[in-house]
Amino acid sequence: MVTMASQTALADDNTQFTTQVNNHSSSTEEAASSDDLPSVTLDAITVEASSVSNSEDTDDYVYERASSATGLTLTSKETPQSVTTITNQQIEDQNLETVNDVIRNTPGISGAKIDGGRNSASARGFSIDQYKIDGQDVDFVSQWSSGESLASTAIYDRVEVVRGAAGLTTGSGQPSASINLVRKRADSRTPEATVTATADQYGKYGATLDASAPLSEDGDVRGRFIAEYQDGDTYIDREDKQLGLFYGVLDADISDDTTLSVGASYQDNVQNSTMWGALPAYFSDGSKAEWDVSKNASVDWVKWNSTNQTYFGTVTHDFNDDWSFELKGSHSENESKDKLFYLSGNTVDQYTGEGLSVYNGRYESERIQDNVQASVDGYFDAFGQTHEVRFGASYNKNDLTAYSYTATPNFGPIDNFLEWDGNYAEPEWSDKSLSTQLTTKETSLFASGRLQLADPLALILGTRVTDYEYEGVNFGTNIDVSHDAVWVPYVGVTYDIDDNHTLFASYTSIFEPQTEVDVNNNYLDPIDGDNYELGIKSSNDDGTVQGQFSVFRIKQNNLAQVDGNNTVIGVTPITEAYIEAEGATSTGIDVEVTGKITPEWQTSIGYTQFIAEDKYGDAVNTGYADRLLKLFTTYDMSNWVPGLTVGGGVNWSDDRYTLMTNPASSLEEKYTQDAVTLVNLMARYDVNEQLALQLNVDNLFDEQYVDSASFDQISYGDPLTVSGKITYKF
């Protein structure tokens, strides 16, 4: 049990599962013949084949175990939902530098850039608002952006994504997807370090140091330190960004039965002259405005800065070979200090450049989050089979405090946006005043179990009971929302057709308190509904290639939808108003194949399509595509050129639209972005065992497209980007 001590909170589960089942198998066989326990022997063999606890320990795109769907340490085939893991190798191959980069390249998920400081994501027709770090809930979605989607992937081993509802592990949440970021740990018992340098053609450059070492002679205490710095210009005129990151973690084997992991991270984000809002969508004659992708509507004095710091810890204790206890917690402080400039309006005269007006904003916010979770995991025998259970409790608290400043002057038209160069005087700012003071508390009791009813048949049952409180003041409006003892059930079934194919089905209910408000600044009722999924999972004999196909149906009520062009009355900053969509449904399919087709050829491919509409048959969440294809593949060319790996991929999304008012006709119409195909390439050359050179080309054909349309304005997607990376290990 000693080796189990060095792993992460979620990686602990993987190693613990391997050790417990194997120990359980051997101890049980002393009291009974092997003929009495065929399933135990089979389980031990299955786990032995995939005991890797960190994805960075392999070069695979397949990661066998994830607990994000049920909390249980199940293989992908044992999990009755669509699960994707973006491993460390895929993050490196595709040069996915931020959490937002990962989201945009994950099968079944749509990502969108709202403006320079905010991003959004959607899956199966619904917004994604469930994020976790090491299995604990974190708030990445807020009216006050604090740079969370800019979080660097340098400190994460992998990203686990469960599509569909994940209420068993998250409590409240949308039936879209749950995204779990799994931190890197200090698991090396020998000193090792990696230095990486990066640069792109727009002037961005950076460096990362990742060093691990044992801190005791026997290696039972280990440390890891990661530091990253980035700086430089972007493809947008006059915009530049900096990032500074520090991460440290200590892992210790306190005894043969008890392990400890503690750590901290700090990320500082600086964004200068970045856009708040986007670009006007129309010319005054009613035609679509077309801008250079580098066009910047911001000014030189704008700063959109944020810091994110987190302290975390996990203690795991094994009572015996079958039962263990885990306690983990985290404390995070996210702050932002913004001086922003917004050009209001969606229409510009194509000859004079007139039509836009100025709005200045200055804000400070602090969000403090505390998370604690305790759980007991174990195995027991009954009716000749081995079963797994897990139960526990969690507590999450989120305090948000925000201040606003008044600008003098604040409003006014600009002369000519066609010749806009960002030269606009900074206003005088008043003393700050309290705008928002909100507290969210969520307390949950949960239990789940995998009951092996027969050798091929397993039943996964779970339940979660949650108390939810949301109270405080938001721009003068008193908020007091609470929901007591909300029950979220989970039922799943898996049936092994043979060693390579498993049928699955699952059901869970939906509960999601909403933070969207109507035109009168009243919060909408909670979302409720049901989530069903049915499918098959397959793999080759050695598990190096895995596939999954599923059909799903989601029904929910009270889903927030944008209320046309209406904004919330009397609220600063400008905020879109929402209405409740009754009887919203989403029905579709998910297909994914991942792994090594041959020892040299590795691929990840996923296709999703769905129909999401309200009870009247009108489409919902139309700003995101309802058909997605994401493909990335690499091939080891070492048989021809030693050390060379080449790869590439395609991200395709179908057309999508947003309702906007045409200035010429004054009628609401669909502002449509046609289907988008983005082609990406990569090549890596290993000079020797220590030194590697890598080149990535994103959006090879420099396709210009509208990434998102909101507040009657448009944001373009990233243009052709060429980036290089040098990695040295020692």
Give the CATH number of the domain where residue 334 resides.
2.40.170.20
pLDDT for 493 equals 96
Q: Would you say 441 and 425 are in contact if contact means Cβ atoms under 8 Å apart?
A: no
Residue type at 483?
A: H
pLDDT for 517 equals 81
pLDDT for 207 equals 98
- DSSP 8-state code for residue 288: B
Measure the CA–CA gap between 158 and 155, rounded to whole angstroms: 9
pLDDT for 168 equals 61
Measure the CA–CA gap between 195 and 726, rounded to whole angstroms: 8
- 496-508 in b/e form (b: 16+ CB < 10 A) is beeeeebbbbbbb
CA 382 vs CA 18, 19, 28, 40, 379: distances in Å: 20, 20, 12, 11, 10
pLDDT for 309 equals 94
pLDDT for 182 equals 94
Looking only at the bridges linking them, the beta strands covering 706-710 and 668-673 are unpaired
Residues in the chain with pLDDT < 50? 1-51
pLDDT for 49 equals 35
Query: Tokens 């057709």 — which residue?
Result: 497
Provide the domain count of the chain: 1
Range of the domain at 136: 3-729
pLDDT for 144 equals 62
- The strand pairing partners of 281, in sequence order, are none
Q: Is 99 helix (H, G, I), strand (E, B) or coil?
A: helix
Relative orientation angle of helices 9-29 and 38-48, to the nearest 10 degrees: 140
pLDDT for 70 equals 62
Query: Tokens 């809002």 — which residue?
Result: 277
What single string gives the DSSP state of each residue in 335-347? EEEEEEEEEE-SE
Q: Would you say 656 and 622 are in contact if contact means Cβ atoms under 8 Å apart?
A: yes
pLDDT for 483 equals 85
Alpha helices in 65-181 (DSSP H): 88-93, 99-104, 167-170
Query: Tokens 């493909």 — which residue?
Result: 631
pLDDT for 12 equals 40
Q: What are phi and psi of 169, to 5 degrees?
A: -105, -15
pLDDT for 644 equals 98
